[in-house]
Amino acid sequence: MKMTKKQLEEICVKISAISPYIRFVGVINPDGNLLAYRRRDNLTPLLDATATKNQFSHIAIKTDMEAKFDRSLGEVEFAWEERKKVQTISFGIKNNKVWVSIDKKVIRSEMLRIIDSCFSVVKSYS
């Protein structure tokens, strides 16, 4: 069953409320299109519009590639990346991806709390 725009927006609101360290939450479809998002107030994005679109296309391609290994390894439940300026986590939900960026300065125990909390939101819509 396809998710409604309201459900997609609810996911973004619920996840963004988990921690003040969450910068951005977006739901991306298999084609790399942003379906819903929420950005922390008074935040300067790290990516411009073109780089953002490229990032979402990259997530879509990566998701498609990962699916080829699902039978052998099982589905990806979440992915966590640490970059120089930000940390990101992503979760599969139906045919979409929920992508979350978090401030770099967050300690690991807070990251694990954020991941666990996001996981429960995502599972409630799966």
How far, in Å, are 7, 25, 39, 80 from residue 112 at the CA level? 25, 17, 21, 10
The parts of the chain modelled with pLDDT lower than 50 are none
CA atoms within 13 A on the CB side of 59: 30
Among 58, 17, 23, 26, which residue's Cα sits nearest to residue 40?
23
What is the phi/psi pair of residue 87, to 5°? -115, 145
What is the pTM for the complete model shown? Answer: 0.86
Q: Where are the domains of the chain?
A: 5-125
pLDDT in tens, 96-119: 999 999 999 999 999 999 999 999
Fold of 5-125: Beta-Lactamase (3.30.450)
